[in-house]
Amino acid sequence: MNILQICSKMPYPPKDGGSIAMNSITEGLIKCSNQVTVLAINTPKLFINDADIDSNYRKTTHFQSVFIDTNVKPIPAFLNLFTNQSYHIVRFDSKTFEQTLIDVLQKQSFDIVQIESLLLSNYARVIRKYSKAKIVLRSHNVEYSIWERLAKKTANPLRAWYLRLLSKRLKKYEIEMMNHYDGIACITKLDALSYQQLGCQTPIITIPFGINLSNYRIQKTSTEIASVFHLGAMDWMPNADAMKWFLNYVWPRVVEQHSEVKLYLAGRNMPTWLLQLSMPNVEIVGEVNDAHQFINSKSIMVVPLSSGGGMRVKIIEGMALAKLIISTTIGAEGIEYESMKNIIIANTANEFVEAIHTCLTNSTLADAIANNARQLAETNYDNQKICERLSEFYSQLLNAKK
């Protein structure tokens, strides 16, 4: 099959959860004997110079990108309040990108156009006009639910009102669009169920995030034993809110019990309040050059999310590197885990404190959970098997009666 993959951010080099997830699908589909062309939006948030992109990747995927300034701007955001449009979607509209998409569609004949994220769904009308390809939404999460959860957790009345508005408009748009695709590939079973409950009639398949296990080499000899870490982009609101909560309500109590333990916070775009943080046993690492090396060097991964959606790529990567992971139920959504077998689920401050204490004092249990996590990654999240299922789904869409 000839597949056009349209990405809402630069998928290469794979630096964060979203780009890693997109690139994994690209690699997997190519290994399944498909031809994949990648057209991406280059955003200020994850800007990559085209010249820095590997020449082999560029050649293999016929890669093209278009810069769009997707930054939130006060005046356009304010004026958007007086419309009925979702500001999330509007920010990704671009005549330049639309024309580039038209050029690609006119030069090649595609069987499938895979849209990465709801944010690019406005371009479906262009695809319909210039191509006979089947359009598939690669749904990384049910977008509106992220903002709905954030609104419920927000104490500031004005901020909560605005987040509810964002959520309401996104939900309306998501419902309007879901039956305009030829297929939806959800990253979690929960997201697939959510679409169905909203009235989706479009064929749906669950295609989780997958990894090439040969790229994940466990190096326990370099691991700092009494260490806790969080790895994630801190310009994503759910991550920032999660770490504020963790630092306020969990970490001081952990240090009281274990004066030697250290917390490492890594990820791009650290906010000023974190960069200026002065707190016992906390080190702000910032963006790391080698995420695998960083994960290998630390002991316990924490994912204290209280909002968000989809699947946390970093949890699967942590599992592949045999890390002991403590996560909220929301943080671990979409992963087929068993608490206390291959992960530890903690939803309150008390549960996080107790879980970290258990991990630091019971190495036998900690090692068993970490090893089981690796086994789960091997069994359920092998990228090649996942992409074979996706290729079969695409074949079924192409063979279905019109």
Q: Which residues contact 400 (CB under 8 A, 6 or more apart)?
A: 203
Q: Who has greater pLDDT, 82 or 362?
A: 362
d(CA 172, CA 151): 17
Question: What's the whole-number mean pLDDT along residues 250-256?
Answer: 97
Mean pLDDT of 70-75: 90
Strands 183-186 and 204-206: what pairing? parallel
How many Å apart are CA 26 and CA 48, to the nearest integer?
A: 18
Q: Is the pLDDT of residue 220 over 90?
A: no
pLDDT above 90: residue 17: no
Sign (positive or negative) of CA dihedral 129, 133, 134, 140: negative
Q: What is the mean pLDDT of the chain?
A: 93
The per-residue pLDDT for 309 is 67
The mean pLDDT value for 204-215 works out to: 92
What is the per-residue pLDDT across 338-347, written as a single tens digit (0 to 9) for each? 999 999 999 9
Closest to 242 measured CA to CA, from 346, 135, 93, 166:
346
Task: Give percent of the chain with pLDDT exceeding 70.
Answer: 99
Could you tell me the domains of the chain?
2-210+382-399 (3.40.50.2000), 214-380 (3.40.50.2000)
Strand order in the sheet with 112-116: 64-67, 35-42, 2-7, 112-116, 134-139, 183-186, 204-206
Q: What digits encode the pLDDT tens for the residues 301-321? A: 999 998 876 688 899 999 999
Tokens of 193: 């169920």
Q: Is the pLDDT of residue 402 over 70?
A: no
Q: What is the pLDDT of residue 151?
A: 87
> Can you tell me the mean pLDDT for 202-222?
91
CA 117 to chain centre: 10
Nearest-angstrom CA–CA distance, 29 and 283: 39
Query: Which pLDDT score is estimated for 312?
Result: 87
pTM of the model: 0.84
* pLDDT at position 311: 80
pLDDT at 334: 87
Rounded CA separation 242/231 (Å): 12
Q: Is the pLDDT of residue 221 over 90?
A: no
3-state SS string for the chain: CEEEEEECCCCCCCCCHHHHHHHHHHHHHHHCCCEEEEEEEECCCCCCCHHHCCHHHHHHHCCEEEECCCCCCHHHHHHHCCCCCCHHHHCCCCHHHHHHHHHHHHHCCCCEEEEECHHHHHHHHHHHHHCCCEEEEEECCCHHHHHHHHHHHCCCHHHHHHHHHHHHHHHHHHHHHCCCCCEEEECCHHHHHHHHHCCCCCCEEECCCCECHHHCCCCHHHCCCCEEEEECCCCCHHHHHHHHHHHHHCHHHHHHHCCCCEEEEECCCCCHHHHCCCCCCEEEEECCCCHHHHHHHCCEEEECCCCCCCCCHHHHHHHHCCCEEEECCCCCCCCCCCECCCEEECCCHHHHHHHHHHHHHCHHHHHHHHHHHHHHHHHHCEHHHHHHHHHHHHHHHHHCCC
Confidence of residue 400 (pLDDT cuts 50, 70, 90): confident
Q: What is the pLDDT of residue 95?
A: 96
- Residue 204: CB partners within 8 Å, gap ≥ 6? 183, 184, 185, 186, 192, 195, 196
| Each residue's pLDDT tens digit, 360-384 | 999 999 999 999 999 999 999 999 9
Q: Is the bond preceding residue 13 a cis peptide, omega within 30 degrees? A: yes
Are the beta carbons of 393 and 183 closer than 8 angstroms? yes
In this model, does residue 390 exceed pLDDT 80? yes
Question: With bands split at pLDDT 50, 70 and 90, how would you rate the model's confidence at 146?
Answer: confident
pLDDT above 90 as % of the chain: 78
